Amino acid sequence: MSMDEKVVSPAYIRNRTIVSLLVFTLFVVGCVGAWKWLYKQPKQQGALAPLRKGLDANEFIFGSIYSISNLSKTFTKEDAVKKVRVNGNAGMSNNFDTAAWKLQVIKAPGDTLMLTMADIKKLPKTEVIFNFKCIEGWSQITHWGGVKFSDFVKHYQLDELAQRQFTGLVTPDNGYYVGIDNRSMMHSQTILCYEMNDSPLPMNQGYPLRLIIPVKYGVKHLKRIGSLSFSNQRPKDYWYERGYDYYCGL
């Protein structure tokens, strides 16, 4: 491999330089133009439309490598932090009546299953100790206990509903809501969680019941579940509306 040498006229050098510089200038103008064009595009759910398409395309691409058997790394109780970070309180309004709380499983319009904490605790308990990852970039090894969502679905014979694409979860005050694909919901590490560090969930961590779903960023781990429902369309999602990826899959 070597570079070839040539003897050429000054006109050749001039012409080749001009042509190249012209193409180069067009390229620079094209790049600047493309950037400006991008920022003039309408927003779709808070994200610039082309970038929203990109996020959705990524969901399609990386959704295809998703396997329910891929587990998030687990840790021991000793690894888990005692001071668990609290991030965000959307949907956690003060006028919440814990005594009256029941989990609403909306099976169909007018057909809602109402479950108490005692009902849920009857199911076998699953503990998950994993590195909780916030979309902001921090992470924490945390220890949770609750009922596997897949066990829950089986026990309450929601199998057919869970065949739909998504589960939507909403806080009792409708202030926070997420939509999650059911392939991720049925993952063996996804739990309806009522314990943290072997104690009942603290209020600010979503007492009495929250979602823990290690294959998603923290934004999907909805605290204080009021109701859940199943659908084939993307359920409303709080951060999706604010420009974030819908999928948020890890």
Partner 1 sequence: MKKIINKHPLAIRWFHWINFPVLAVMIWSGLLIYWANGVYRLGWGDQTILKFFPKSFYEALNIKYRLAEGMSLHFFFMWIFAVNGIVYFLYLLFSKEYKLIFPNKKSLKESWQVILHDLKIRKSLPAQQKYNAAQRLAYTTVIVLGFLMLLTGLAIYKPAQLNWLCNMLGGYEWARAEHFIITILFFLFFLVHVLQVLKAGWNNFRGMITGFETLPPDDSKNIAVPKDDKPEKQSSEL
Give residues in contact with partner 1 (CB under 8 A).
Answer: 1-10, 13, 16-17, 20-21, 24, 27, 31, 35, 46-48, 50-52, 54-55, 58, 62, 65-67, 70-73, 131, 133-139, 214-215, 239, 242-245, 249-250
| Shortest spacing between CB 34 and partner 1, in angstroms | 9
Q: State the Cα–Cα distance between residues 189 and 142, nearest whole angstrom.
A: 13
| Shortest spacing between CB 222 and partner 1, in angstroms | 18
Q: E strands within 28-102?
A: 43-44, 47-48
Nearer to partner 1, 13 or 114 (CB): 13
Q: Which of 177, 153, 181 is nearest to 166 (CA)?
A: 181
Nearer to partner 1, 70 or 157 (CB): 70
Q: State the Cα–Cα distance between residues 82 and 164, nearest whole angstrom.
A: 37
Six token digits for residue 38: 């991008």
| Shortest spacing between CB 106 and partner 1, in angstroms | 29
Sort residue 90 into left (φ over 0), alpha (ψ -120 to 50) or beta. beta
Nearer to partner 1, 25 or 157 (CB): 25
| Shortest spacing between CB 67 and partner 1, in angstroms | 7
Nearer to partner 1, 31 or 114 (CB): 31
- The DSSP line for 201-246 is PPGGGTTT-EEE-TTB-GGGS-SS--EEEEESSPPP-TTTTTT--S
> CB–CB of 204/89 below 8 Å?
yes
What are residue 112's DSSP bridge partners? 106
Nearer to partner 1, 46 or 200 (CB): 46
Q: Which of 91, 208, 218, 226 is nearest to 142 (CA)?
A: 218
| Shortest spacing between CB 80 and partner 1, in angstroms | 15
| Shortest spacing between CB 250 and partner 1, in angstroms | 4
Nearer to partner 1, 125 or 242 (CB): 242
| Shortest spacing between CB 163 and partner 1, in angstroms | 22
Q: State the Cα–Cα distance between residues 227 and 171, nearest whole angstrom.
A: 7
Nearer to partner 1, 105 or 193 (CB): 193
